[in-house]
Structure 1
Amino acid sequence: MNYTYLTTDELSTLIKYDPRTIRDQLKDSVLLEGRHYFRPFGGRKILYIWEHIQEDMAKSISAAVMQIPLSAGGAIHV
């Protein structure tokens, strides 16, 4: 399978997040090394795998649609 590899700046234009937010908040909490990004040749540069990010973003959207929020907090999963 052919993957699209993106730098942090390229990813930021596609998902509309500031590059600093991607590096400081999303990387290693939402975007995981080995799944969403890797460091080629063991270096410092990070390349993101666009297809994996798209797939996981779509999963989170469908999961959010499948629940009904409750007034006291929590949700009912449909």
Structure 2
Amino acid sequence: MNNTYLTTEELSERIKYDARTIRQCLKDSVLFEGKHYIRPFGGRKILYIWEVIEEDMLSRAQDNLTIPMANGGVCHG
């Protein structure tokens, strides 16, 4: 499996959150070690797994912001 590994700063650019917010608020409350990020070689450096983060963001956005309609469409409310 090919994954895209990002530093905190690179992830910050992609999701438009400040790097400090990622480190202090999202890490370990929304982004979990082993699923969303790794510490390669047991070190201090953190690398985020872009594909997993993107999939979680999109699935949560679709679950929370859409209302299914009788005709098969969705209402974005």
Q: TM bucket by the smaller chain? A: 0.7 to 0.9
Identity across matched positions, percent: 67
**Number of equivalenced pairs:** 67
TM-score normalized with structure 2 length: 0.84
Q: Per-residue deviation at 1:65?
A: 2.2
Aligned partner of 1:56 in structure 2 is: 56
Structure 1: unaligned runs, 5 residues or longer: 68-78
1:1-78 mapped onto 2 (5 Å cutoff): 1-66=1-66
TM-score normalized with structure 1 length: 0.83
Partner secondary structure for residue 48 of structure 1: strand
Q: Per-residue deviation at 1:63?
A: 1.0
Runs of 4+ in 1 over 2 A off after TM superposition: none
CA RMSD after TM alignment: 0.9
